[in-house]
Amino acid sequence: MSEEGDEQSACESEGETLVGADSGTGPTSGAGSGTAPGSGTGKPGQRVAARREAIVIGGKSIQPGQRCYVDLPLPPLYTHTSVAMPVHVIHGKQPGPVLFVTAAIHGDEINGIEIIRRLLATKSLSRLAGTLIAVPVVNVYGFVSQSRYLPDRRDLNRSFPGSETGSMAARLANTLMSEIVAKCTHGIDLHTAAEGRANFPQIRVDLDSHPELLPLAEAFAPPILVDSTTRDGTLRGAAGNLPLLLYEAGEALRFDDLAIRAGLKGVLNVMRHLKMLPANKSGERRGKPWLANNSAWMRAPQSGILRSRIRLGGIVEEGGVLGYISDPFGESEQAVISDASGVLIGITKLPLVHEGEALYHVATTESTKSAARAVHDFHLEYEQPVMKRLKY
């Protein structure tokens, strides 16, 4: 099949085509062949819309009003098997922001993949203003092997912005930066905790470097905002001044429905905030996120078997007992005591621990009142509707 035929089969139009967006007299042309307002082949006296420029991803030109699948070529396997990064582009008919949503930069963090699947099935995208670029699996190699890392054991999220001639991780990072990030105005990067841990839904931003991100983060409406310094080598760091939110929720290699539903709603909230989607008619109220300026890990005081006494998202008081560690014979036992008050935003899922191992991640605060309210509102919003469905 020709390249033109491949492109045709991979793209579909969103709803009816605007007058002037496609005259119907031939194939759509590339960017730069716009039609000026008031000109074109419309009916006499009819105002013909100016053509919005196409967006080019992976050498493929996506016209306004089209949804396209694009495969970005990546280094093949040593078995001569081709590998590609899947990209789904929805190029709205109306102008607006260009938003990328990425998942599985760590190949075993799969909640974001399901968030993107549900996002792409959302009916309101037919009224999209601007462009949505969804990359459900960035680290294809790690995803196939159910691993956080690339085959060379490098962490992709410590390899940005990458380079064309560097390591496998650097080349993959460079592909994402040059083909996706460089063409966008905003971004949302979806993550979970590392293997053996779980995270309470949260947005991480660096407000010291990017105070302008606060309204966007609040629009996502997570229960917790964590003001955290950007690490070198991460996508968040490489994005520079591009507004980017980092969503953390759930655990590796597991679907967490609460985290997925909150993530999907958060992405849609951001798109409405950016005027990419029409506002909700219901005008629903959202709880105000609690902003944590610091966080700390509580570590194992001895090796042994851990029995936790607090749930993820629970309120922690300084000096409170988080769990107990016993040796296998029950001859010695020691409590894990919190050094600070706050909210438990991360927890180990493995009961077998060594002395000094990170067990509980606490977003800290001097007063837990506002934090407790934010967590309560979140559970009310996402868990109460589920309980009602189960009851009836």
Walk along the chain (392 residues) and give the pLDDT tens digit of each residue. 444 444 433 688 765 333 223 333 333 333 333 333 334 444 444 444 457 899 999 999 999 999 999 999 999 999 999 999 999 999 999 999 999 999 999 999 999 999 999 999 999 999 999 999 999 999 999 999 999 999 999 999 999 999 999 999 999 999 999 999 999 999 999 999 999 999 999 999 999 999 999 999 999 999 999 999 999 999 999 999 999 999 999 999 999 999 999 999 999 999 999 999 999 876 666 778 999 999 999 999 999 999 999 999 999 999 999 999 999 988 899 999 999 999 999 999 999 999 999 999 999 988 889 999 999 999 988 876 554 544 44
* Whether the predicted model's global pTM rises above the 0.85 cut: yes
User: What is the model's pLDDT at position 262?
Assistant: 97
Hey, which CATH number is domain 52-273, 3.30.1240.10, 2.40.50.100, 3.40.630.10, 3.10.20.600?
3.40.630.10
**How many C-beta atoms lie closer than 10 Å to residue 209's C-beta?**
14
Among candidate residues 369, 349, 367, the one with its CA nearest the CA of residue 358: 349
Strands 197-205, 224-227: pairing kind: parallel
Separation of alpha carbons 98 and 132, rounded Å: 6
Separation of alpha carbons 363 and 343, rounded Å: 5
DSSP state letters, 147-200: -SS-TTS--GGGS-S--SSS-HHHHHHHHHHHHTGGG-SEEEEEE-PPTTEEEE
User: What is the model's pLDDT at position 57?
Assistant: 97
User: What is the model's pLDDT at position 280?
Assistant: 84
Among candidate residues 141, 62, 148, 53, the one with its CA nearest the CA of residue 95: 53
User: What is the model's pLDDT at position 12?
Assistant: 81
Residues 241-279 pLDDT 10s: 999 999 999 999 999 999 999 999 999 999 999 999 999
Residues 30-74 pLDDT 10s: 333 333 333 444 444 444 445 789 999 999 999 999 999 999 999
Cis peptide before 73 (omega within 30 of 0): no
Separation of alpha carbons 70 and 6, rounded Å: 10
Q: In the chain, where are the structural domains located? A: 52-273, 294-374
User: What is the model's pLDDT at position 174?
Assistant: 98
Strands 224-227, 290-292: pairing kind: parallel
Separation of alpha carbons 58 and 3, rounded Å: 13
Cα dist. 91→67, 216, 276, 334 in Å? Answer: 6, 22, 11, 57
Q: What share of the chain is helix, strand, coil (3-state, %, to 5)?
A: 25, 30, 45
Residue 197 structure tokens: 């841990």
Q: What is the CATH number of domain 294-374?
A: 2.40.50.100
Backbone angle region of 342, left / alpha / beta, with phi > 0 → left and psi within -120 to 50 → alpha: left
Separation of alpha carbons 389 and 169, rounded Å: 45
Taking each helix axis from N to C end, the angle separating 257-273 and 369-391, rounded to the nearest 10 degrees, works out to 110
Separation of alpha carbons 352 and 259, rounded Å: 25
Asked if residue 168 lies in contact with residue 189, where contact means CB atoms within 8 angstroms, the answer is no
User: What is the model's pLDDT at position 330?
Assistant: 81
User: What is the model's pLDDT at position 47?
Assistant: 45
